[in-house]
Amino acid sequence: MWMDDEFFARVGHDLRGELATMLAGVHYLLRYQKDLGAAPRDMLERVRGAGERLKRLLDEFDNSIWLRADASRPMAIASCDAGELARRAAGHLEEAATARGVRISFDAEPDGGAPVEGDPELLRVAIEYVLGFAILRSRDRPVQIRVSISGGEAVVTVIDEAGPVAPEPLARLLDPFGERAAIPADPVAPRRRERLGLGLAIARGILGAHGGGLTVEPSSERADGSSTEPASGLSPTGLRFSCSLGGVQRGAPPSSPETRGRGGAASASGDGG
C-alpha cells in the first residue's frame, strides 16, 4: 500500500533506460554485422525477443498503479470512438496474433460509431490487455471483437474459442495473477512469461476508473456467425469478455468504487487490489 505512483514511475523509468541501451546494441549487431555466423545471430535474436518481452512486462508493471483505486489520479479526457480504440488495440497486437496463428475478426460496429468520453490511451491499454489475453489462449483459433451500445454506454466484447475455464479459476480470472491459471504453457519454453499476470486486473481498474467495468463469462459463440449460448445445453467453447467503457466528463473526477456499477460474472468477485 505504501507504493505510490512516483515509485512505479521511477523504477519503471530506470529499468526501461537500461533495457533500451542493451536492445540498441543487439539491434546494431543484427543490422550491421554482416559477418555474424548462424549461431551468434540466432543467440542475438533470442536476446532481442527476450528484450521485447521484458519491455511488455515493464509496461505491465507501470500500469499496475491501476490495481489501486485513486479518484485523484489524472486522466487526459477526450472524445473518442470505441471501435477505433478496439482497432488500435488489435493493430498493436497484430504481430503477436500472427505468430500464434490467431485471426482477429470485427463484428459490424454501430451506425454512427460508439462515442466515449475518457482517456483514449488508457482505454486502448485496457482493451489491449483483454484482447492480448484472448490471443495468448487461442493458438490457431479465431478471436472476435464486437463493438456495441448497451444502456447508452459503449461496450467492446472480446470472444475467444480457446476452450472453457473451470469455475474456480474463472471466478478469480480478473484478480491480480488470476489469469495465469487460464493461459496454456508455451510448448517451446514452458517457463517463459509473456505477461506478469496483472493485465486483466489492470484492465478492470482502468475501466472502473472511467465508470465502466469488465466482466467475463463462458461462451459458446463462434466467429463463423453461429451463436449458441451455454444455456442451450452446449458446452462452452471459450470465454466472452465485456468491456464497458463508461465515460468521464472533462474536469470531473471518476466515480468511486462504492458508487460504480459492478454487475456480471467474475467481475463481482474481488476489488482489483
Question: What average pLDDT values come out for the chain (273 residues) when binned by 10 residues?
Answer: 67 81 87 88 85 81 85 86 96 92 91 92 96 93 94 94 91 92 69 79 95 94 58 72 85 44 37 36
> Which residues have CB under 8 Å from 162's CB, separation 6+?
134, 137, 138, 139, 141, 238, 239
What is residue 7's predicted lDDT score, i.e. its pLDDT?
Answer: 77
Question: pTM of the full predicted structure?
Answer: 0.77
What is residue 242's predicted lDDT score, i.e. its pLDDT?
Answer: 97
- Taking alpha carbons only, the member of 99, 114, 95 closest to residue 157 is 114
Q: Could you tell me how far CA 257 lies from the centroid of its own chain?
A: 21
Residue 137 has phi, psi (to 5 degrees) of -80, -15
What is residue 225's predicted lDDT score, i.e. its pLDDT?
Answer: 55
Q: Which parts of the chain fold into alpha helices (H)?
A: 5-32, 38-63, 82-92, 94-99, 120-137, 167-171, 199-209
What is residue 148's predicted lDDT score, i.e. its pLDDT?
Answer: 94
